[in-house]
Structure 1
Amino acid sequence: MTEPQSTPTPQALLGATEIRRLAEEIGVRPTKTLGQNFVIDGNTIRRIVAAARVDPQETVLEVGPGLGSLTLGLLDAAAHVVAVEIDPVLAAKLPSTIADFRPEKAANLDVVLADAMRVTELPRVPTALVANLPYNVAVPVVLHLLERFPSLQHGLVMVQDEVADRMAAGPGSKTYGVPSVKAAWYSQMRKAGVIGMNVFWPAPKISSGLVGFTRHEPPVTRASREEVFAVIDAAFAQRRKTLRAALAGWAGSPAEAERCLREAGVDPSARGEVIDVAAFARIAEAKIPLTA
């Protein structure tokens, strides 16, 4: 008679006790300045890793690994993790934590001491981004990394829930704005879930949202990314104004703004929150003189 196969026991992850012990060992107290909220629930980590759809052959870029909660889960799922950490104390501690909890995976981790907003080189080429991002810099970090590392093909980030809504919003939504349009330049964003407050230490005052993304090609246009983003910024600087009025400064005059809008096939009386990134690209292109 064949013995029934048992379900493999999941690898242990860091809980509240381990997180507080590790923090005490290195004298770390989470700071609001760095937006540090450490995940203390293993099931939440497993949920994030599963939602990220990480392939076993991938190199994952993690931003703000902190004490290593998510890092352990990612090392269980991926071939390699490159962790970018701005706090030198946390960066120094992370390799020993991995060596203690996953000795067989210790060689699969690279720790980079850097500000994710300024990092331009990594020791390995990442194909996925998975991170619990500080609320105050989440959007600029994601946009910087998508621009700087075109190898990033997909990912999942945990951000403040209302920020998640903005990043994933489509035209016409109340939450559609600059983060929505700029993120859409690089990828298809989707809301992938909500995480409660009690799985963090310290507990934040608002729920977190998961945003998944899949990279796609930007709109085909003669305008550069910078030129398109300048139109986006101008359009949303004064949300109540029509595009003709909002883009007057960018274009040089209301009349020139109207010309660009009509050439792009956009109603000058419309507002920025109703048009997509491709329309913004056409508006930017309309301002560029045709070469002879």
Structure 2
Amino acid sequence: MNLSITLRNRRTYKEYAGLFMIKSGAWIMVALFLSSLGYIAYHGAGTLSPSFLSTFPEKMMEEGGILPCIIGTAILSIGAMAVALPLGIACAVWLNEYAKEGPLKKLITLAVANLAGVPSIVFGLFGLAFFVTVCGLGVSAIAGILTLAVLTLPIVINTVRETLSQIPNSWRESSLALGASKTQTVLRTVLPAALPGILTGAILGLARAAGETSAIMFTAAVVSTTNLPNSPFAAVMSLPYHIYVLATTGMNPDKAVPIQCATALVLLMTVFALNLMAFYIRQKSSKRPA
């Protein structure tokens, strides 16, 4: 009896210790996030204004606003999704609905999983070597869009595959039993049901693309410009790269830090809003009756 009580107490202590470590780690992450957000908001909120969002940088970026950065980030992110979304959906549908179990499917699945873990700087170097140099696109918006499309492709594929796998097989079987072909079943039954997951993948991809610096550093970004891009072959400014430039150009910290923090605040609010939208869509779709 005493031995049983002792073992039970040990298990209880271990459970409490494990739970304490998990909660401590979670609270530490929350504290770090809130402290970083507080620092950025404290130093950047005073600079944030309508004119800051609607004007060009001036006097070596020590004054003015970030309009070309906002436009450039939107062009790169939306353009990347315009390329990655149809490719990602097609790949996910093939893997989930058509591909038979075998070496080819395993190889592609492994490649997608590995691609998701590749550092973004590697994508930037790939874009520089292939899109900028080999394809002759130069440092341009289109080169950055294609690089970001490759980077965000695994996010779209994995999100859409996860959604497709949650659709009941009985829906497919019912459609086939009514005389629909495999393609008709996929287009008229499976994909409409997977629309929330597809939207989630697109939004998460947008958020990832909007926050990337390394992937566009060598392919699309320019330090400063006096004109908005009027061609896909023009270089663009972007919010994350603008923050990087302000941090590495040796500007007067008294002038650089408020602009950096205000720019970071705009980027954080954008990414946070996109992730919140994706979370809302996912939660709403999960409550939908099957």
TM-score, normalized by the shorter chain, greater than 0.5:
no
Greater strand fraction, Structure 1 or Structure 2? 1
Higher RCO (Cα < 8 Å, 6 or more apart): 2
TM-score, normalised by the number of residues in structure 2? 0.19
Q: Which has the higher helix share?
A: 2
